[in-house]
Chain A
C-alpha cells in the first residue's frame, strides 16, 4: 500500500508517472480504431489497473449494439481471493443505482468486511454509454492525479466506444443495406427465374406450335390436301401452303376470287358459282368435286368439303379442305376403260364358247339319229325282219333330225338377234387386239404368227366385235389345221391390204392340212368340218357376219401346203 510522500522528489516522480500514463491513455484511441466495444473495455480496464493502485475496476455498458459483455469487472491477481467478480458486480450495481442523473459518485463504502473507496465516472453525459467504477481500500483514493487519469480514461473510452458504436451502427446499416440488397437481388433473381421459365415455356409452346404447323403442312403435302378459309363479307381468302401448290399460285400474294376463277375448268365455273352462292347465304356443309385446268393444260380433280360458321359478331366464314384426287380419278378412269376392254374381249371370244355349247346341243340328237338308224338297220336285216321295230326307230330318227334342225334354228335366231353396231372400224387395230388375245393359245400350239398390216387400209363401217369374232375364228382354224403338222414349221401369216377396188382385205394363211378342193363350197356350210373335234359352225357364222357387212369370205388352197382364208369388206358399207 503506497503512502503519499511529502517529499518533492517523490512528488515529481509521481507527476512524471502521471504524465506518462496520460500519454499512454491518449494513444489508446489509436489502438482502438476498428475494435469492438468489449475489446475497448478490456484494454481500458487493463490500463487503469496498471496505472492506478486499484483493488478492482468495473465497467458497465448500456445501450450497445454489441451487448455481449455489458458488465466487466477486473481484479488484480493478488486480490482475487478478496473480491469475487460476481459479488462485486452485484454490489456495485446496487451502489450505482438506476438513476442516470448520478453522474459522478465518490464515497467510502463497506464491501463485506472491507472498507473501500469507490469512484464512479459516467460514460456519456447521462451514462448513456455506461459507467466506470474504480475501487480501492486506500482511504486517500482517489488522489488528484488518479481522478485526472480516471476522467481522461473515461473520456477516451467514451470516444472509443462512441466510435465503435458509430462504426457498429454503420456496419449495421451497411449490413442491413447489404441484406436488403441481397434480398432484393434474391427477389430479382427469383423473378428473373420465373420470367426465364415463362420465356422457356413460351418458346416450348412456340416450338410445339411450329412443330404442329410443320406436321399439318407435311400431312397436307402428303395427302395432297389443302385448307382454306373465306370471309363472306370481305371476300378475304386464306389458302394453306399446299392449296397454293395445288392451284399453282404465287404463295406470297393474297388469293383472290379472280385467281381461283382463272384456274377452274370452264365447264365447272357454273358449278362453283352455284356452290359459292349457296355458301354466301347459309352455313350449310358442302361436298363436291370440281376440276381445275392448269396453264399447261393439265386437268386436276379436286374434292372440296367445307362448312360455314357464323361468328359472334354475325359475320359468316367458310372453312374447308380441298383434296387433289386427280390420281385417284385417273386410276378410276383407267380401271373403267380396262373393264370395258375386258367386256369387249369376252364378247369377241363368245363365238368360241358358243361353238362348244352348240356342239353339245347338236351332238345329242345326232347321237340319237345314228343309234336309231343302226338299230333300224339291224332290225331290217333280221330274218324275218322286225318291220314294226324298224318303223318305230325310223320315226325316232326323223324326230331327232328335227330336234337337230331346231338347234340350228335357235342358233340362227341367236345371231340375228345380236344388235349390229355400225361404227368406223380400223381393221388393223381390231386385228392387233385379236392377236394379243390369242397369242398365248397360239404359242401353246407352237404356232409362229407373223402379221403384215397395211398402212393404207381404208376404214370400214361395221360391228367391230363381230368382225373380231371372224378374225379370231380364222386364226383358230388356221392354228387347228396345223395340229398334226410335225415336218414343217407351223406358220401362220395374217395380212391386211387395200385391194384394187379399195376394199379392206384380210387374209389368214396357214401351213396346215388344207382341204379337199372338191368340197370348197361345203366349207362354209353349217356342220361341215374337216377337224376331228370341229363342229362346222365357225366358218358358217363367220360368212354370215361378213356378208352382213356387204363383204365376201372365201378360201383358197396355197401353192405350198395349207390354205388361205380371206375376207374383204367395202369401205362404204351400208350396214
Chain B
C-alpha cells in the first residue's frame, strides 16, 4: 500500500472533487487521502473552472446534478478549453440517459451514489491509466 501511495502521490498530485452536496465534499476527500491522493473540493463547476488548481488536476470526480452548470456542462466546457482531464461521474439519480451521454462525451466511469470504496478505487485506476 505504501509504495502504491507514493507512486500515485508523486506522479499525480491532485484528484479534484466537484459536488454541491456538503457530505460528499467532506467524506470523499478523506477517503481519497486514505488512498494516498492529494485532493481538493469545489462546491460548483464554476468554482473549479476559475480555480488555479485546474491545471494541476490529474483526475476529476464530478457530480451530475448541480445548481448552475451541471456535470455534463463542465465536461463539455473542459473539452472546449482543451483540458483532457479524465472524469469519474458520481450521481444520486439513476438516470441511464445521462449516464450514456456522459460516456459518449468521454467519461472514464459513472458511479451511482452510494458507491463502494473499491468501485471508486477501480475507477481511479482506470482514469489514471488513461492519463
Contacts and interface: CB of A to CB of B under 8 A. Distances in A.
B23 interface: yes
Interface string B32-50: 0010000000000000000
A356 B93 contact: yes
Interface in A326-363: 356, 359-361, 363
Contacts of A379: 34
A364 B115 CA distance: 11
Interface string A8-46: 000000000000000000000000000000000000000
A378 B114 contact: no
Contacts of A372: 27, 30
Chain A binding surface SS class: helix
B30 A368 contact: no
B26 A368 contact: yes
Interface string B20-31: 010110111011
A365 B92 CA distance: 10
Given A364-B21, A364-B24, A371-B114, A389 B30 contact: yes
A370 interface: yes
Contacts of B113: 363-364, 366-367
A467 interface: no
B114 A363 contact: yes
Contacts of A403: 23
A396 interface: yes
A396 B114 contact: no
B26 A396 contact: yes
Given A360-B92, A364-B92, A374 B116 contact: yes
B23 A365 contact: yes
B128 interface: no
A47 interface: no
- In this complex, the member of A360, A369, A393 whose beta carbon has the largest number of chain B beta carbons within 10 angstroms is A360
Contacts of B34: 375, 378-379
B129 interface: no
B31 A378 contact: yes
A533 interface: yes
Given A360-B65, A372-B30, A403-B23, A367 B117 contact: no
A367 B89 CA distance: 13
B65 A367 contact: no
B31 A371 contact: yes
Contacts of B30: 371-372, 375, 389, 393
B27 A396 contact: yes
Interface in A362-415: 363-372, 374-375, 378-379, 389, 393, 396, 399-400, 403
Contacts of A374: 31, 116-117
A371 B31 CA distance: 7
B81 interface: no
Interface string A507-551: 000000000000000000000000011000000000000000000
Contacts of B15: none
Contacts of A359: 92-94
Contacts of A369: 114
Contacts of A378: 31, 34, 117
A364 B93 contact: no
B4 to A, nearest CB: 13
Nearest to B118: A374
B97 to A, nearest CB: 12
A371 B94 contact: no
Contact of A393 (B21, B27, B93, B114): B27
B90 interface: yes
A504 B74 CA distance: 54
B65 A375 contact: no
Nearest to B22: A368
B94 A367 contact: no
B93 A371 contact: no
Q: Which 9 A-B pairs have the closest CB atoms?
A: A368-B23, A363-B92, A367-B113, A374-B117, A533-B94, A370-B114, A371-B27, A367-B114, A375-B31
21 contacts: A360-B65, A360-B92, A364-B23, A364-B24, A364-B92, A367-B21, A367-B27, A367-B92, A367-B113, A367-B115, A368-B26, A368-B27, A371-B30, A371-B31, A371-B117, A372-B30, A375-B27, A393-B27, A396-B23, A400-B27, A532-B94
Given A367-B21, A374-B31, 12 more contacts: A360-B65, A360-B93, A363-B112, A363-B113, A364-B113, A367-B24, A367-B115, A370-B116, A370-B117, A372-B30, A400-B23, A533-B94
